[in-house]
Amino acid sequence: MIITSLGHAGFLIETGDDVILADPWLDPAGAYAASWFPYPSNSSIDPNHLERATILYISHWHKDHLDEWFLHSRSKEFKERVRVIIPNFKYKKLFDIIKNCGYANIEELPSFEEIRTNSGTEIAVIYDTNPLFVDSALFVRSDGINFLNENDCKLSVADEEAIVSRYGIIDIFTAQFSGATFHPTCYTYTEQEKTKISSMRRKAKFDRIVSSIERLKASYYIPSAGPACFLSDDLRELNLNPSTVFSNADDFKYYLRSDHPSLLNTFIELLPGDKLSLSKDKPIELEKIFTDDYLSQDYLMRYAKDKKGIITTEFEKYRASLGDILSDTKEHFRSLCSNTPELGKLAAANLEVILTGENGGSFMIDTSTGNLSSTPIQNSQQIYTLSLDTFWMRAIINLLTWEDFILSFRFSIERKPDTYNEALIAFLHLETDEERQDYINYHDLIASSEKERISRLCYGKIIEYDRYCPHNGEDLSCAAIENGVLTCPRHFWQFSIEDGKGINNSGSINLNWK
Ligand code: FES
């Protein structure tokens, strides 16, 4: 098996007659309104050369994985010939976009259902059956080599254990090791607070990768699916910055060296164009093609200079007359409140929207009722303050989804009290009635489900708490406990071990000391 890195989460996996192309992201304009770019640059990869692929796998619809520019610009012959495999998600966004790009053979695979190619390669797509979690992982087995690409799909402990029991231990494991979220970057914390939170999140992410390497008994681990870099003038300070969650492969290597030295020999950095060859009877071979010193400001300056024109052109796509942007924004939020009103009630926040820049202004909206006011509503459970420029608000109203805009990091947000309100994020970015209703149903299901309890030794005493995470049901029986905090290994919700109350969330694991 030969694995070539295409940058970010992209891989070309060649084995026998099969050439599997996974998540190629080569759009010269990056993603999320020209905010994210592959880091390091993968411009040396020739998109036409990738048309020798026989199978195209797209893990999910986030734009750093589903590159419409790449998909659209392929030849008619490729679109008609290539076998496209994707997860059989409940929502058909991924299928529809690929179909609209002109692909003829799209197969939606149920989780863990294997296919076998004519040359004997076994392939499975694995994902959470909760429709609200829209990532997937790719498993490939050929000539006795097991390759697992989890990209940014945070598989549950149970799914990883099922992979090992079905397929055996993993030879090559790759997964996202760097954070990619707007918390704490876009929050109005001080730089010092951001650095503290980011360092905790970076470590939790690294711990999670280590626990996966151990659970999968992976021989080698390739860091992938991030970090992205930020090349527009307004975001450049996010690069190589400890106050963000975007760690790089060197940070992970350093962490392994200090905390898990026995795993250091699993680490293989594969940069764009680098190739890894594996077979059962030979030592692995690594061919390094990428040689630039990419972890430097100098590299980033050159990269940004190259992209300046493209970023300017991309911004122009979003330019539109602002008109009465304040009234239109009020109407936009009113319609979010009336779209499945139960979701706004669940979010139960008073949202202050501040539009900065030309024709700006501000207002408050109560997500529970859709009522507008000009001053904070007293006794509200939580107040969120969202600030963004009128330019971007107009883009959201016209053509940019909240999900894509939020990932662009071009806003600032504050919350009081400072706890994660997942329903509010769902309120903003779930687009259809079906998705919004599914979120409410899922929330009700978690809240009403019987709570299995677990006992465990902690600092020499027995503690008892709810076994399954109130967020998405991860098994917390082996969750790390450090400095008085229990952290869920899946999405890092944290709970105090004094009483089980959520620290960065409003849930609880109802913890008692025995
Ligand atoms: S399952 Fe998401 S944080 Fe626990």
| Beta carbons of 483 and 204 less than 8 angstroms apart | no
Regarding the beta carbon of 490 and ligand 1, being less than 6 Å apart is answered yes
Regarding the beta carbon of 446 and ligand 1, being less than 6 Å apart is answered no
Name the pLDDT band for 378 (thresholds 50, 70, 90).
low
Regarding the beta carbon of 83 and ligand 1, being less than 6 Å apart is answered no
Name the pLDDT band for 38 (thresholds 50, 70, 90).
very high
Distance CA(300)–CA(310), nearest Å, equals 16
* Per-residue DSSP letter, 378: T
CA of 505 from ligand 1 middle (Å) equals 10
Nearest ligand 1 atom to alpha carbon 156: 1
Residue 247 burial class via C-beta count within 10 angstroms: exposed 0-12, middle 13-18, buried 19 and up:
buried
| Beta carbons of 300 and 231 less than 8 angstroms apart | yes
Atom 2 of ligand 1: nearest residue by CA position: 491
Q: What is the pTM of this model?
A: 0.93
Check pLDDT > 90 for residue 47: yes
Regarding the beta carbon of 155 and ligand 1, being less than 6 Å apart is answered no
CA of 200 from ligand 1 middle (Å) equals 16
Check pLDDT > 90 for residue 384: yes
Check pLDDT > 90 for residue 444: no
Nearest ligand 1 atom to alpha carbon 470: 4
Residue 81: both structure tokens together: 């010939």
End-to-end CA distance of the chain: 53
CA of 105 from ligand 1 middle (Å) equals 35
Residue 166: CB atoms within 10 Å: 12
Residue the block writes with tokens 């966004």: 93
| Beta carbons of 433 and 444 less than 8 angstroms apart | no
Regarding the beta carbon of 474 and ligand 1, being less than 6 Å apart is answered yes
Regarding the beta carbon of 471 and ligand 1, being less than 6 Å apart is answered yes
According to CATH, the superfamily of the domain at 2-307 is Ribonuclease Z/Hydroxyacylglutathione hydrolase-like (3.60.15.10)
- Determine the CATH number of domain 449-513: 2.102.10.10
Nearest ligand 1 atom to alpha carbon 488: 4
| Beta carbons of 496 and 510 less than 8 angstroms apart | no
Distance CA(28)–CA(55), nearest Å, equals 23
Report percent pLDDT > 70 for the chain: 99
Atom 3 of ligand 1: nearest residue by CA position: 491
Regarding the beta carbon of 422 and ligand 1, being less than 6 Å apart is answered no
Region 142-171 average pLDDT: 94
CA of 472 from ligand 1 middle (Å) equals 5
CA of 494 from ligand 1 middle (Å) equals 9
Regarding the beta carbon of 472 and ligand 1, being less than 6 Å apart is answered yes
Q: Where are the beta strands (DSSP E) in 265-306?
A: 275-279, 282-287
Pocket test residue of 152, 468, 471 for ligand 1, highest count of atoms within 8 A of CB:
471
Name the pLDDT band for 491 (thresholds 50, 70, 90).
confident
Distance CA(126)–CA(111), nearest Å, equals 5
Residue 7: both structure tokens together: 């940058």
CA of 477 from ligand 1 middle (Å) equals 13
Distance CA(349)–CA(423), nearest Å, equals 9
State which amino acid sits at residue 228: A
Q: Tens digits of per-residue pLDDT, 65-95? A: 999 999 999 999 999 999 999 999 999 999 9
Pocket test residue of 130, 153, 469 for ligand 1, highest count of atoms within 8 A of CB:
469
Task: Tell which phi-psi region holds residue 155, choosing left (phi > 0), alpha (psi between -120 and 50) or beta.
Answer: beta
Distance CA(454)–CA(465), nearest Å, equals 6
Regarding the beta carbon of 491 and ligand 1, being less than 6 Å apart is answered yes
Domain ranges of the chain: 2-307, 325-430, 449-513
Bridge partners of 486, per DSSP, are 481, 495
Task: Compute the mean pLDDT over every residue in the chain, rounded to the nearest whole number.
Answer: 94
Regarding the beta carbon of 509 and ligand 1, being less than 6 Å apart is answered no
Regarding the beta carbon of 479 and ligand 1, being less than 6 Å apart is answered no
Regarding the beta carbon of 208 and ligand 1, being less than 6 Å apart is answered no
Residue the block writes with tokens 């939580």: 382
Q: Which CATH architecture has domain 325-430?
A: 2-Layer Sandwich (3.30)
State which amino acid sits at residue 320: A
Residue 364: both structure tokens together: 């408050």
Which of these, 371, 512, 384, 402, lies nearest to 454 by C-alpha position?
512
DSSP string, 155-213: --HHHHHHHHHHH-S-SEEEEE-S---STTTTB---HHHHHHHHHHHHHHHHHHHHHHH
Coil, strand or helix at 147: strand
Check pLDDT > 80 for residue 173: yes
Region 96-117 average pLDDT: 97
Q: Tens digits of per-residue pLDDT, 392-434? A: 999 999 999 999 999 999 999 999 988 888 899 999 999 999 9
Distance CA(513)–CA(463), nearest Å, equals 5
Residue the block writes with tokens 């010193």: 293
pLDDT in the model for residue 376: 66
Regarding the beta carbon of 275 and ligand 1, being less than 6 Å apart is answered no
Regarding the beta carbon of 467 and ligand 1, being less than 6 Å apart is answered no
Residue 358: both structure tokens together: 């030309």
Query: Which contacts (CB < 8 Å, 24+ apart) does range 71-80 have?
Result: 71/97, 71/98, 71/101, 71/103, 72/101, 72/102, 73/47, 74/47, 74/101, 75/48, 75/51, 76/102, 77/51, 78/51, 78/53, 79/103, 79/104, 80/104, 80/105
Nearest ligand 1 atom to alpha carbon 476: 4
CA of 254 from ligand 1 middle (Å) equals 26
Q: What is the SS3 string spanning 76-139?
A: HHHHHHCEEEEECCCCCHHHHHHHHCCCCEEEEECCCCCEECCCCCEEEEECCCCCCCCCCEEE
460 contact partners, CB below 8 Å, separation of at least 6: none
Name the pLDDT band for 377 (thresholds 50, 70, 90).
low
Distance CA(323)–CA(317), nearest Å, equals 17
Compute φ and ψ for 367, nearest 5 degrees. Answer: -65, -25
Check pLDDT > 70 for residue 379: no
CA of 345 from ligand 1 middle (Å) equals 22
Region 53-60 average pLDDT: 98
Name the pLDDT band for 497 (thresholds 50, 70, 90).
very high
Atom 1 of ligand 1: nearest residue by CA position: 472
Q: Tens digits of per-residue pLDDT, 427-438? A: 999 999 999 999
CA of 433 from ligand 1 middle (Å) equals 24
